[in-house]
Each structure stands twice: as structure tokens, then as C-alpha cells.
């Protein structure tokens, strides 16, 4: 454990990175997570909603423990996520699952861990409520609070790979299919999630208004609605807009309202600290090879986006093509300008990479995974996990 003094974001991570012996390392700044959760706690206080953390964004135990004390529950999408969610949150909060991937051989275990299941399709609901309840679980399903995921069929996400409401969607029951069903016996809630990385709450308002218009009578019979994740709160205006949407819902219907952000809680808390391990010129460009790879930040490759770097300066006098250390030719982060010259051993820190990166990271080329370190609020660095040859060998 090494101590660093508490300073604001980039400065804190820069100071911390100097104390880290081995790179690459994912560093999670606990104070950023606590700050994001404090904003959500205000939303809860002012609107009466319940806050869940969608653990698919980052599932490390150390983070979950910090978050568990400050939320009402965890939202999950698989058996293993259920298991870790319950293990960490115990009886301090609820565990909520929705997935298109329910399967017979896991369902019996899943129901032991979760409190709420939002079934993804009518066929999934009919199958598990009928067949499984009768043949396998007896009364077990009664302990569950069951809901249905609906597809509001309003798209805000341009890239259809990330749009839950895309054509031929597999996520949720389209509202018109629900309108024809008179009795949703044993269904106590509705779940929706149709956005990604948005700070525009008019989109959530539009979705909620649409659902209320088409499913108002159904909502009158429900206990709860889960509005999903996909939004950031960057300022007070957005916070108030979100509170207003929830309050309006609660004023109209007698509903518990859940929200389940993931990236909005951990995204800006995570940085990847790497080091330069080689430098040379290629076709007139200075290339700096890092000890990390796009496979440690897979969304960089998936989305073809350029991650931000703490030390970059668009006016800086030195430009480098930053490249990853795997043999994939496209393992490149992009061209960056720096104020200072880079040399072997220089630290390069990618920021805002706390969500959906480490959970998707892989060991392509046999390159070890980054260590995971938590930068505690008091400045202490706590090593959570280092990976070794044994992890690589034991993976398959
Ligand atoms: C059903 C559901 N809820 C919540 C989330 C969390 O979204 P985000 O991390 O963008 O807030 C996701 C992300 O894919 C999701 O699929």
C-alpha cells in the first residue's frame, strides 16, 4: 500500500501512476465512484427512486464492495453476475436480473440469488412460469418478483450493434405485443433500457411518455418499473431532469422506480496506466510501442474510437503514433501530441476507461492482463489483482 495525496482527478492519477511499479495497470479512483454515487443518492432523495448498479460495466470485487454500501441493489445479466452480486451485497440490497440467455440448467441456481427477474420475451416468461415452476421448482418462483422487459421501439443509438431497439431486436417485448394480452398474471413490473452514453434526458422523457401513453392501464396494475441505464449525470440540470421524470411517474402511478446505470458510475473512475517499451520511426512518424494493447481496451478496437490520454496536449510539440504491443497491425490507439518528449519508460495514461473495458479484456498473443489497483479516497493504492502465467495457462 502506497500513499498519495488527494488531488483532483487527472492530477491524482498522475501522482498515483508514479508510485506504481509494474504496468500496465487499471487504476480505479474510488473518490470518483463515491462522487458519482453521491449524485445518484441525491436523485434518490429528491425523487424516491431506487438506485441499482449494473455490474456488467465493471465487476471487480473491490469496486462492488465500495458500491454496495451506497446503492439499493445490483443489476445483473448472468448466473455468475448473480452469484457475485449476492455474495457482495448479502442482505443489504436486492439483485435484479434481465437476460435473453436464461437456460434450464442455470435457472434453479439463479433463483436462489436474485430477488427480481425481468423476463426478456413472452416465450421466456411462459416457459419459466409454467414448465419450470411446475416441474422443477415447486413454489420457488413465488419468492421471485417477476417482471417483463419491454422494447419501447424508440431508438437513440446510432450504431445498431448497441441499439436495444434496432430492427430484429432480441431485447424485450415490443409494446404492441403486450397491448393484446389482457392479463399479465404474476407480472409485477416492467423493465426498459434503450440508451447508451446519453446525457440528454429528453430522450428518457420521450421513452417514458411513450410507455405511459401505450401501457398506462398496465402500469396501474404494476408494483415497479425499471428505467434501465445508459445515461450520465454531468450537472445539476440533468440531475433535476431525471428527478422530474421519476417524480412524474410516481405521482401518476403507485410504482417503485428503479434506475440501473453502469458506465455513469464507474466509467470516469477507471484509467489504464501503461509505459512506453520501444520507439522508432515508421514512414516519417514517430511510433511509440506501449506495454498494453487494444485488447486491454477492447472497445477502442470495437468502436474504432480514440481514447483520451491524461498527458496529451493538442498544442504540444511532440507527436507520436501510440501502438499496442501485440502483433496485430491494427493494434493502435492513434496519433497524440504531448508537451514533453516521450522516451522508453514514459508513462502513458488512458482515462475514462472504467466501464466495459476490463470485463472484455483478453490475453490475445499471450500478453498478460493489466493488474487492477484501487486508488482509495485517502490516496492509498491497494493492489486488487495481479495476473500470472498460471492464470493464462489455467484459462483453457
Ligand atoms: C439492461 C441494461 N441495464 C443497464 C445497463 C447499463 O448501461 P450503462 O452502463 O450504459 O449505464 C445495460 C448496458 O448494456 C443494460 O443492458
As a residue count, the chain comes to 396
Angle separating helix axes 104-113 and 79-89, nearest 10 degrees:
10
Instruction: End-to-end CA distance of the chain: give it in Å, rounded.
Output: 32
| Atom 4 of ligand 1: nearest residue by CA position | 229
- Dist. CA 56 → ligand 1 center (Å): 8
Say which residue the cell 417503485 belongs to.
Answer: 256
Cis before 24? omega within 30: yes
Q: What is the pLDDT of residue 186?
A: 83
| Atom 16 of ligand 1: nearest residue by CA position | 193
| Atom 5 of ligand 1: nearest residue by CA position | 229
- Dist. CA 390 → ligand 1 center (Å): 32
Instruction: Give the max Cα distance, the chain.
Output: 71
- Please give the grid coordinates belonging to residue 231: 445515461
- Dist. CA 55 → ligand 1 center (Å): 9
- Dist. CA 339 → ligand 1 center (Å): 37
CA distances in angstroms from 338 to 49, 273, 309, 377, listed in the order given:
44, 16, 10, 29
Contact 53, 265 (CB under 8 A): yes
Q: What is the DSSP letter of 223?
A: S
Say which residue the cell 421524470 belongs to.
Answer: 245
CA count, 13 A, side-chain hemisphere, 316: 17
CA distances in angstroms from 69 to 66, 234, 264, listed in the order given:
6, 22, 17
Q: Where are the beta strands (DSSP E) in 106-186?
A: 116-119, 145-151, 173-174
Pocket test for ligand 1, best of 33, 37, 51, 57 (most atoms within 8 A of CB): 57
Q: Residues 220, 111, 70, 373: is their CA dihedral positive or negative?
A: negative
pLDDT beneath 50: ranges in the chain: 1-7
Question: CATH 2.40.37.10: which residues of the chain?
Answer: 2-28+267-394
Pocket test for ligand 1, best of 229, 265, 267 (most atoms within 8 A of CB): 229
Classify 2-28+267-394 by CATH class.
mainly beta
Say which residue the cell 410507455 belongs to.
Answer: 211
Q: What is the pLDDT of residue 1?
A: 39
What residue ranges line ligand 1, CB within 6 angstroms?
54, 57, 75, 98, 193, 196, 228-230, 260-264, 355
pTM of the model: 0.94
Pocket test for ligand 1, best of 121, 151, 164, 193 (most atoms within 8 A of CB): 193
Q: What is the pLDDT of residue 3?
A: 38
Summarize pLDDT for 356-395 with one digit per residue, the tens. 999 999 999 999 999 999 999 999 999 999 999 999 999 8
Q: What is the pLDDT of residue 140?
A: 57
Summarize pLDDT for 226-273 with one digit per residue, the tens. 999 999 998 999 999 999 999 999 999 999 999 999 999 999 999 999
CA distances in angstroms from 327 to 277, 289, 364, 369, listed in the order given:
14, 11, 9, 16
- Please give the grid coordinates belonging to residue 323: 501502438
- Dist. CA 261 → ligand 1 center (Å): 6
Which of ligand 1's atoms lies nearest the C-alpha of 77?
A: 1
- Dist. CA 115 → ligand 1 center (Å): 18
Which of ligand 1's atoms lies nearest the C-alpha of 264?
A: 11
Classify each residue of 278-287 as buried b or exposed e, where b means 16 or more C-beta atoms within 10 Å of its C-beta.
eeeeeeeebb
CATH code for the domain defined by 59-261: 3.20.20.10
Which of ligand 1's atoms lies nearest the C-alpha of 162?
A: 14
- Dist. CA 249 → ligand 1 center (Å): 21
- Dist. CA 193 → ligand 1 center (Å): 7
Question: CATH 3.20.20.10: which residues of the chain?
Answer: 59-261
- Dist. CA 160 → ligand 1 center (Å): 15
Amino acid at each position: 500500500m502506497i500513499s498519495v495525496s488527494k488531488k483532483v482527478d487527472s492530477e491524482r492519477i498522475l501522482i498515483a501512476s508514479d508510485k506504481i511499479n509494474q504496468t500496465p495497470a487499471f487504476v480505479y479512483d474510488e473518490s470518483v465512484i463515491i462522487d458519482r454515487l453521491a449524485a445518484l443518492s441525491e436523485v434518490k432523495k429528491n425523487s424516491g427512486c431506487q438506485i441499482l448498479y449494473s455490474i456488467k460495466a465493471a465487476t471487480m470485487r473491490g469496486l462492488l464492495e465500495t458500491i454496495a454500501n451506497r446503492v439499493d441493489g445490483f443489476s445483473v445479466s448472468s448466473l455468475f453476475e448473480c452469484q457475485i452480486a449476492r455474495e457482495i451485497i448479502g442482505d443489504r440490497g436486492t439483485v435484479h436480473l434481465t437476460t435473453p440467455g436464461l437456460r434450464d440448467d442455470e435457472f434453479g441456481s439463479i433463483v436462489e440469488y436474485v430477488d427480481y427477474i425481468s423476463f426478456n420475451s413472452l416465450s421466456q416468461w411462459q416457459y419459466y412460469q409454467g414448465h419450470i415452476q411446475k416441474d422443477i421448482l415447486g413454489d420457488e418462483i413465488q419468492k421471485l418478483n417477476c417482471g417483463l422487459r419491454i422494447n419501447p421501439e424508440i431508438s437513440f443509438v446510432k450504431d445498431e450493434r448497441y441499439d436495444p431497439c434496432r430492427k430484429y431486436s432480441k431485447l424485450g417485448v415490443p409494446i404492441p405485443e403486450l397491448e393484446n394480452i389482457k392479463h399479465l398474471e404474476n407480472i409485477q413490473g416492467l423493465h426498459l433500457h434503450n440508451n447508451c452514453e446519453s446525457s440528454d434526458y429528453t430522450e428518457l422523457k420521450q421513452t417514458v411518455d411513450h410507455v405511459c401513453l401505450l401501457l398506462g392501464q398496465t402500469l396501474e396494475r404494476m408494483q415497479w418499473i425499471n428505467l434501465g441505464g445508459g445515461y450520465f449525470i454531468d450537472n445539476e440540470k440533468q440531475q433535476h431532469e431525471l428527478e422530474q421524470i421519476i417524480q412524474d411517474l410516481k405521482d401518476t402511478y403507485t410504482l417503485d422506480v428503479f434506475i440501473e446505470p453502469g458506465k455513469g458510475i464507474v466509467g470516469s473512475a477507471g484509467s489504464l496506466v501503461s509505459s512506453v517499451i520501444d520507439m522508432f520511426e515508421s514512414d516519417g512518424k514517430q511510433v511509440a510501442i506501449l506495454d498494453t494493447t487494444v485488447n486491454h481496451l477492447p472497445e477502442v478496437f470495437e468502436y474504432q474510437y480514440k481514447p483520451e490520454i491524461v498527458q496529451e496536449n493538442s498544442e504540444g510539440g511532440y507527436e507520436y503514433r501510440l501502438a499496442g504491443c501485440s502483433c496485430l497491425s491494427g493494434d493502435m490507439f492513434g496519433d497524440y501530441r504531448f508537451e514533453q518528449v516521450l522516451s522508453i519508460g514514459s508513462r502513458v495514461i488512458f482515462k475514462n476507461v472504467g466501464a466495459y473495458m476490463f470485463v472484455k479484456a483478453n490475453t490475445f498473443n499471450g500478453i498478460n492482463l493489466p493488474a487492477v489497483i484501487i486508488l482509495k479516497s485517502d490516496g492509498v493504492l491497494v493492489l486488487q489483482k495481479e495476473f500470472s502465467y498460471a492464470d493464462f495457462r489455467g484459462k483453457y
